Amino acid sequence: MKKSRVLVSGGAGYIGSHTTVELIAAGYDVVVVDNFSNSDMSAVENVRRITGADIPFEEVDCCDRTALRRVFEHYDFDSAIHFAASKAVGESIEKPLEYYGNNLSSLLNVLSLMREFGRHNIVFSSSCTVYGEPDKQPVTEQTPRKSATSPYGNTKQMCEDILRDSVAAYDGLKGIALRYFNPIGAHPSALIGELPRGVPQNLVPYITQTAAGIRECLSVFGDDYPTPDGSCIRDYIDVVDLAKAHVAAIRRMIEGKEKAPYEVFNVGTGRGVSVLELVDRFQKVNGVKLNYRIAPRRAGDIIAIWADPTLANTELGWKAERTLDETLAAAWAWEKHLREKE
Ligand code: UFG
Protein backbone atom coordinates (compact mmCIF):
# COMPACT_ATOMS: atom_id res chain seq x y z
CA MET A 1 0.00 0.00 0.00
CA LYS A 2 1.22 3.49 -0.84
CA LYS A 3 2.23 5.44 2.23
CA SER A 4 0.48 8.75 2.98
CA ARG A 5 2.76 11.74 2.70
CA VAL A 6 2.61 14.63 5.14
CA LEU A 7 3.90 18.16 4.49
CA VAL A 8 5.78 19.37 7.58
CA SER A 9 6.23 23.13 7.46
CA GLY A 10 8.85 24.32 9.92
CA GLY A 11 10.12 20.74 10.04
CA ALA A 12 13.70 21.77 10.90
CA GLY A 13 12.51 23.49 14.07
CA TYR A 14 12.32 22.16 17.59
CA ILE A 15 8.88 20.54 17.54
CA GLY A 16 8.84 20.01 13.77
CA SER A 17 12.02 17.93 13.77
CA HIS A 18 10.76 15.65 16.57
CA THR A 19 7.42 15.28 14.82
CA THR A 20 9.11 14.32 11.55
CA VAL A 21 10.92 11.51 13.40
CA GLU A 22 7.64 10.21 14.84
CA LEU A 23 5.81 10.45 11.51
CA ILE A 24 8.49 8.30 9.86
CA ALA A 25 8.39 5.85 12.78
CA ALA A 26 4.62 5.58 12.34
CA GLY A 27 5.02 4.72 8.65
CA TYR A 28 4.28 8.04 6.96
CA ASP A 29 6.29 9.69 4.21
CA VAL A 30 7.03 13.36 4.67
CA VAL A 31 8.23 16.41 2.85
CA VAL A 32 9.88 18.95 5.10
CA VAL A 33 9.97 22.65 4.34
CA ASP A 34 11.73 25.30 6.41
CA ASN A 35 13.27 28.72 5.79
CA PHE A 36 15.86 28.27 8.58
CA SER A 37 14.73 31.46 10.29
CA ASN A 38 15.23 29.74 13.64
CA SER A 39 16.91 26.45 12.70
CA ASP A 40 19.51 25.01 10.39
CA MET A 41 20.20 22.06 8.10
CA SER A 42 21.82 20.03 10.87
CA ALA A 43 18.37 19.28 12.31
CA VAL A 44 17.22 17.82 9.00
CA GLU A 45 20.42 15.80 8.67
CA ASN A 46 20.04 14.46 12.18
CA VAL A 47 16.42 13.51 11.58
CA ARG A 48 17.70 11.58 8.56
CA ARG A 49 20.28 9.89 10.77
CA ILE A 50 17.76 8.95 13.46
CA THR A 51 15.21 7.58 11.02
CA GLY A 52 17.53 6.22 8.33
CA ALA A 53 15.08 7.75 5.86
CA ASP A 54 16.01 9.86 2.87
CA ILE A 55 13.69 12.69 3.84
CA PRO A 56 12.91 15.19 1.09
CA PHE A 57 13.65 18.74 2.17
CA GLU A 58 12.87 22.07 0.49
CA GLU A 59 14.25 25.37 1.75
CA VAL A 60 11.11 27.41 1.38
CA ASP A 61 9.54 30.28 3.28
CA CYS A 62 5.81 29.59 3.59
CA CYS A 63 5.20 33.34 3.16
CA ASP A 64 6.57 32.96 -0.38
CA ARG A 65 3.49 31.64 -2.11
CA THR A 66 5.23 31.00 -5.43
CA ALA A 67 7.92 28.87 -3.78
CA LEU A 68 5.39 27.03 -1.65
CA ARG A 69 3.22 26.39 -4.70
CA ARG A 70 6.14 24.54 -6.31
CA VAL A 71 6.18 22.20 -3.29
CA PHE A 72 2.47 21.52 -3.79
CA GLU A 73 3.04 20.93 -7.50
CA HIS A 74 5.94 18.60 -6.93
CA TYR A 75 4.79 16.47 -3.98
CA ASP A 76 1.68 14.41 -3.62
CA PHE A 77 0.50 14.77 0.00
CA ASP A 78 -2.97 14.93 1.44
CA SER A 79 -2.06 16.17 4.93
CA ALA A 80 0.00 19.00 6.38
CA ILE A 81 1.32 19.90 9.80
CA HIS A 82 1.89 23.62 9.97
CA PHE A 83 4.59 24.58 12.47
CA ALA A 84 6.26 27.37 10.53
CA ALA A 85 5.78 30.49 12.64
CA SER A 86 7.65 32.94 14.85
CA LYS A 87 7.26 32.17 18.53
CA ALA A 88 8.99 34.61 20.84
CA VAL A 89 6.49 36.47 23.02
CA GLY A 90 8.79 39.43 23.83
CA GLU A 91 10.00 39.85 20.26
CA SER A 92 6.40 39.91 19.04
CA ILE A 93 5.70 42.97 21.20
CA GLU A 94 8.66 44.77 19.60
CA LYS A 95 7.91 43.59 16.05
CA PRO A 96 4.14 43.16 15.76
CA LEU A 97 4.01 43.68 11.99
CA GLU A 98 6.59 40.94 11.39
CA TYR A 99 4.65 38.58 13.66
CA TYR A 100 1.23 39.25 12.14
CA GLY A 101 2.72 39.22 8.65
CA ASN A 102 4.68 36.02 9.06
CA ASN A 103 2.33 33.92 11.18
CA LEU A 104 -0.86 34.83 9.35
CA SER A 105 0.41 34.81 5.79
CA SER A 106 2.19 31.48 6.12
CA LEU A 107 -1.02 29.81 7.33
CA LEU A 108 -3.11 31.58 4.68
CA ASN A 109 -0.75 30.36 1.98
CA VAL A 110 -0.79 26.77 3.22
CA LEU A 111 -4.59 26.76 3.48
CA SER A 112 -5.27 28.41 0.15
CA LEU A 113 -2.86 26.08 -1.64
CA MET A 114 -4.41 23.07 0.08
CA ARG A 115 -7.74 24.23 -1.23
CA GLU A 116 -6.47 24.88 -4.73
CA PHE A 117 -4.70 21.50 -4.92
CA GLY A 118 -7.52 19.59 -3.21
CA ARG A 119 -5.48 18.55 -0.15
CA HIS A 120 -7.53 17.71 2.93
CA ASN A 121 -6.05 17.47 6.43
CA ILE A 122 -4.16 20.05 8.45
CA VAL A 123 -2.82 20.13 11.99
CA PHE A 124 -2.06 23.58 13.36
CA SER A 125 0.42 24.40 16.15
CA SER A 126 -1.53 26.39 18.68
CA SER A 127 -0.70 27.22 22.25
CA CYS A 128 -2.19 27.34 25.72
CA THR A 129 -1.40 31.04 25.48
CA VAL A 130 -4.91 31.36 23.97
CA TYR A 131 -6.38 30.80 27.48
CA GLY A 132 -4.55 33.77 29.01
CA GLU A 133 -4.70 33.69 32.83
CA PRO A 134 -7.41 31.09 33.42
CA ASP A 135 -9.99 31.47 36.23
CA LYS A 136 -10.05 27.74 36.89
CA GLN A 137 -7.49 24.91 36.69
CA PRO A 138 -6.96 22.65 34.90
CA VAL A 139 -8.05 24.15 31.58
CA THR A 140 -10.23 22.16 29.21
CA GLU A 141 -10.85 22.94 25.57
CA GLN A 142 -14.09 24.59 26.76
CA THR A 143 -12.25 27.05 28.98
CA PRO A 144 -12.93 30.44 27.40
CA ARG A 145 -10.12 32.03 25.45
CA LYS A 146 -9.11 35.40 26.85
CA SER A 147 -7.74 38.43 25.05
CA ALA A 148 -4.19 37.74 24.03
CA THR A 149 -1.47 39.58 25.94
CA SER A 150 1.01 39.68 23.04
CA PRO A 151 0.91 39.88 19.25
CA TYR A 152 2.32 36.32 19.26
CA GLY A 153 -0.63 35.09 21.34
CA ASN A 154 -2.99 37.04 19.15
CA THR A 155 -1.63 35.33 16.03
CA LYS A 156 -2.39 31.93 17.63
CA GLN A 157 -5.99 32.95 18.31
CA MET A 158 -6.40 34.48 14.84
CA CYS A 159 -4.88 31.43 13.15
CA GLU A 160 -7.23 29.12 15.07
CA ASP A 161 -10.14 31.23 13.83
CA ILE A 162 -8.87 31.26 10.25
CA LEU A 163 -8.61 27.48 10.35
CA ARG A 164 -12.07 27.04 11.93
CA ASP A 165 -13.71 29.31 9.35
CA SER A 166 -11.89 27.74 6.41
CA VAL A 167 -12.85 24.25 7.46
CA ALA A 168 -16.48 25.40 7.84
CA ALA A 169 -16.50 26.94 4.38
CA TYR A 170 -14.58 24.49 2.22
CA ASP A 171 -15.91 21.00 1.68
CA GLY A 172 -13.42 18.26 2.39
CA LEU A 173 -11.02 20.41 4.40
CA LYS A 174 -10.45 19.17 7.96
CA GLY A 175 -8.35 20.71 10.69
CA ILE A 176 -7.10 20.04 14.19
CA ALA A 177 -5.56 22.73 16.38
CA LEU A 178 -3.24 21.35 19.06
CA ARG A 179 -2.84 23.67 22.02
CA TYR A 180 0.61 22.95 23.39
CA PHE A 181 1.45 23.61 26.98
CA ASN A 182 5.20 24.03 27.68
CA PRO A 183 7.26 21.78 25.41
CA ILE A 184 10.65 20.79 26.86
CA GLY A 185 13.27 18.07 26.52
CA ALA A 186 14.88 16.47 23.52
CA HIS A 187 15.07 13.25 21.54
CA PRO A 188 16.65 10.35 23.50
CA SER A 189 19.38 10.11 20.84
CA ALA A 190 20.47 13.66 21.83
CA LEU A 191 20.77 14.37 18.10
CA ILE A 192 17.89 16.85 17.96
CA GLY A 193 16.58 19.31 20.53
CA GLU A 194 15.93 22.97 21.10
CA LEU A 195 18.45 25.39 19.56
CA PRO A 196 17.84 28.77 21.17
CA ARG A 197 19.61 31.67 19.45
CA GLY A 198 21.28 34.11 21.83
CA VAL A 199 20.16 34.30 25.45
CA PRO A 200 17.40 31.74 26.03
CA GLN A 201 14.02 33.22 26.96
CA ASN A 202 12.52 29.92 28.11
CA LEU A 203 13.14 28.21 31.39
CA VAL A 204 14.64 24.84 30.48
CA PRO A 205 17.21 26.06 27.92
CA TYR A 206 18.24 28.69 30.46
CA ILE A 207 18.63 25.98 33.10
CA THR A 208 20.70 23.71 30.87
CA GLN A 209 22.94 26.56 29.72
CA THR A 210 23.48 27.62 33.34
CA ALA A 211 24.34 24.07 34.32
CA ALA A 212 26.77 23.96 31.39
CA GLY A 213 28.46 27.16 32.59
CA ILE A 214 27.41 29.30 29.64
CA ARG A 215 25.14 31.45 31.83
CA GLU A 216 26.24 32.48 35.26
CA CYS A 217 23.01 32.26 37.16
CA LEU A 218 19.38 31.40 36.50
CA SER A 219 16.88 34.05 37.56
CA VAL A 220 13.69 32.57 38.98
CA PHE A 221 11.16 35.22 38.05
CA GLY A 222 9.13 35.71 41.21
CA ASP A 223 8.62 33.72 44.40
CA ASP A 224 5.69 35.75 45.71
CA TYR A 225 2.93 34.43 43.47
CA PRO A 226 -0.18 32.92 45.07
CA THR A 227 1.08 29.34 44.50
CA PRO A 228 2.29 26.79 47.11
CA ASP A 229 5.98 27.78 46.77
CA GLY A 230 5.42 31.24 45.33
CA SER A 231 6.79 30.49 41.83
CA CYS A 232 4.73 30.15 38.63
CA ILE A 233 3.19 26.84 37.62
CA ARG A 234 3.23 25.31 34.13
CA ASP A 235 2.46 22.00 32.47
CA TYR A 236 5.76 20.80 30.96
CA ILE A 237 5.20 18.42 28.09
CA ASP A 238 7.97 16.25 26.69
CA VAL A 239 8.69 17.16 23.07
CA VAL A 240 8.68 13.50 21.95
CA ASP A 241 5.25 13.00 23.54
CA LEU A 242 4.10 16.21 21.90
CA ALA A 243 5.41 14.97 18.54
CA LYS A 244 3.35 11.79 18.94
CA ALA A 245 0.20 13.86 19.51
CA HIS A 246 0.67 15.24 15.98
CA VAL A 247 0.88 11.75 14.53
CA ALA A 248 -2.33 10.81 16.37
CA ALA A 249 -4.08 13.94 15.05
CA ILE A 250 -3.03 13.27 11.45
CA ARG A 251 -4.05 9.63 11.72
CA ARG A 252 -7.45 10.62 13.13
CA MET A 253 -8.23 12.70 10.04
CA ILE A 254 -6.74 10.27 7.52
CA GLU A 255 -8.84 7.47 9.01
CA GLY A 256 -11.94 9.69 9.12
CA LYS A 257 -12.34 9.28 12.87
CA GLU A 258 -12.89 12.97 13.61
CA LYS A 259 -16.12 14.00 15.37
CA ALA A 260 -16.21 17.36 13.60
CA PRO A 261 -14.29 18.84 10.69
CA TYR A 262 -12.53 21.25 13.06
CA GLU A 263 -11.33 20.04 16.44
CA VAL A 264 -9.16 21.41 19.23
CA PHE A 265 -7.10 19.42 21.73
CA ASN A 266 -5.01 20.37 24.73
CA VAL A 267 -1.61 18.70 24.66
CA GLY A 268 -0.24 18.58 28.17
CA THR A 269 0.43 16.12 30.97
CA GLY A 270 -2.30 17.30 33.33
CA ARG A 271 0.31 18.05 35.98
CA GLY A 272 1.27 21.52 37.13
CA VAL A 273 4.92 21.97 38.16
CA SER A 274 6.36 25.13 39.71
CA VAL A 275 9.56 26.79 38.55
CA LEU A 276 11.26 25.96 41.85
CA GLU A 277 10.13 22.33 41.68
CA LEU A 278 11.52 22.06 38.16
CA VAL A 279 14.86 23.54 39.22
CA ASP A 280 15.00 21.09 42.11
CA ARG A 281 14.15 18.06 39.93
CA PHE A 282 16.71 19.07 37.32
CA GLN A 283 19.49 19.15 39.92
CA LYS A 284 18.49 15.84 41.51
CA VAL A 285 17.98 13.90 38.28
CA ASN A 286 21.17 15.10 36.64
CA GLY A 287 23.34 15.33 39.72
CA VAL A 288 24.33 18.90 38.93
CA LYS A 289 24.31 22.02 41.04
CA LEU A 290 22.47 24.94 39.55
CA ASN A 291 23.30 28.51 40.37
CA TYR A 292 20.02 30.35 40.77
CA ARG A 293 18.57 33.35 42.52
CA ILE A 294 15.13 34.75 43.05
CA ALA A 295 14.53 37.73 40.76
CA PRO A 296 11.57 40.09 40.30
CA ARG A 297 8.52 38.86 38.45
CA ARG A 298 8.71 38.90 34.64
CA ALA A 299 6.11 41.19 33.06
CA GLY A 300 3.23 39.38 31.39
CA ASP A 301 3.76 35.98 33.06
CA ILE A 302 0.68 33.88 33.73
CA ILE A 303 0.63 32.74 37.37
CA ALA A 304 -0.46 29.17 36.79
CA ILE A 305 -1.79 27.03 33.98
CA TRP A 306 -2.01 23.31 33.40
CA ALA A 307 -4.01 21.13 31.06
CA ASP A 308 -6.90 18.81 31.40
CA PRO A 309 -5.73 16.44 28.63
CA THR A 310 -8.75 14.10 28.91
CA LEU A 311 -10.06 14.88 25.44
CA ALA A 312 -6.71 14.10 23.79
CA ASN A 313 -6.43 10.95 25.93
CA THR A 314 -9.84 9.61 24.94
CA GLU A 315 -10.29 10.94 21.41
CA LEU A 316 -6.75 10.88 20.05
CA GLY A 317 -5.76 7.82 22.07
CA TRP A 318 -2.71 9.83 23.08
CA LYS A 319 -1.20 10.26 26.52
CA ALA A 320 1.98 11.88 27.78
CA GLU A 321 4.29 8.97 28.61
CA ARG A 322 7.69 10.27 29.57
CA THR A 323 8.19 11.31 33.18
CA LEU A 324 9.44 14.76 34.09
CA ASP A 325 12.70 13.16 35.26
CA GLU A 326 13.25 11.42 31.92
CA THR A 327 12.52 14.66 30.11
CA LEU A 328 14.93 16.69 32.23
CA ALA A 329 17.63 14.05 31.74
CA ALA A 330 17.10 14.25 27.97
CA ALA A 331 17.29 18.06 28.06
CA TRP A 332 20.64 17.84 29.87
CA ALA A 333 21.98 15.15 27.53
CA TRP A 334 21.13 17.39 24.56
CA GLU A 335 22.89 20.40 26.11
CA LYS A 336 26.00 18.29 26.76
CA HIS A 337 25.91 17.00 23.19
CA LEU A 338 25.84 20.59 21.89
CA ARG A 339 28.84 21.53 24.05
CA GLU A 340 30.84 18.50 22.92
CA LYS A 341 30.45 19.67 19.33
CA GLU A 342 32.04 23.06 20.11
N1 UFG B 1 11.25 31.50 33.96
C2 UFG B 1 12.19 31.84 34.93
N3 UFG B 1 13.45 32.15 34.52
C4 UFG B 1 13.83 32.14 33.21
C5 UFG B 1 12.87 31.79 32.23
C6 UFG B 1 11.60 31.47 32.65
O7 UFG B 1 11.89 31.88 36.12
O8 UFG B 1 14.99 32.46 32.91
C9 UFG B 1 9.90 31.15 34.39
C10 UFG B 1 8.84 32.06 33.80
O11 UFG B 1 8.69 33.21 34.59
C12 UFG B 1 7.63 31.14 33.81
C13 UFG B 1 8.21 29.73 33.60
O14 UFG B 1 9.60 29.86 33.93
O15 UFG B 1 7.04 31.19 35.07
C16 UFG B 1 8.09 29.25 32.19
O17 UFG B 1 8.60 30.25 31.33
P18 UFG B 1 8.91 29.97 29.78
O19 UFG B 1 9.43 31.26 29.21
O20 UFG B 1 9.74 28.76 29.63
O21 UFG B 1 7.49 29.63 29.18
P22 UFG B 1 6.15 30.48 29.19
O23 UFG B 1 5.15 29.71 29.96
O24 UFG B 1 6.34 31.89 29.56
O25 UFG B 1 5.85 30.54 27.63
C26 UFG B 1 5.66 29.37 26.90
C27 UFG B 1 6.13 29.55 25.47
C28 UFG B 1 5.31 30.57 24.77
C29 UFG B 1 3.86 30.29 24.94
C30 UFG B 1 3.52 30.14 26.39
C31 UFG B 1 2.10 29.74 26.59
O32 UFG B 1 7.48 29.95 25.45
O33 UFG B 1 5.64 30.52 23.41
O34 UFG B 1 4.32 29.10 26.94
O35 UFG B 1 1.77 28.83 25.64
F36 UFG B 1 3.11 31.30 24.46
pLDDT tens by residue, 9-35: 999 999 999 999 999 999 999 999 999
Question: Which residue type does 167 have?
Answer: V
User: How many whole angstroms from 203 Cα to the centroid of ligand 1?
Assistant: 6
For ligand 1, mutation pick of 160, 203, 207, 305 (most atoms within 8 Å of CB): 203
Which residue's CA is minimally distant from atom 16 of ligand 1? 203
- Please name which of 37, 25, 6, 10 lies closest in space to residue 240, comparing C-alpha atoms: 25
Query: How many whole angstroms separate alpha carbon 194 and alpha carbon 331?
Result: 9
Is 152 labeled as catalytic in the residue annotation? yes
How far apart are alpha carbons 104 and 54 in whole angstroms? 31
CB atoms under 10 Å from CB of 58, counted, come to 17
Pocket of ligand 1 (CB under 6 A): 87, 89, 127-129, 182, 201-203, 206, 218-221, 232, 234, 275, 298, 301
pLDDT for res 22: 98
Mark out the alpha helices in the chain (DSSP H runs): 14-25, 41-51, 65-74, 89-94, 96-116, 151-169, 203-211, 239-254, 275-286, 310-311, 324-341
Closest ligand 1 atom, CA of 219?
3
At 227-267, the pLDDT tens digits run: 999 999 999 999 999 999 999 999 999 999 999 999 999 99
- Mean pLDDT across the chain, nearest whole number? 97
177's enclosing H/E stretch is: strand 174-180
**Which of 152, 180, 225, 236 does the annotation list as catalytic?**
152
Answer yes or no: are the C-beta atoms of 174 and 185 closer than 8 Å. no
Point out the residues of the chain with pLDDT beneath 50.
none
Residue 149 has a pLDDT of 86
Put simply, whether the predicted model's pTM sits higher than 0.85 gets the answer yes
Report the SS3 class of residue 151. helix
pLDDT of residue 1: 62
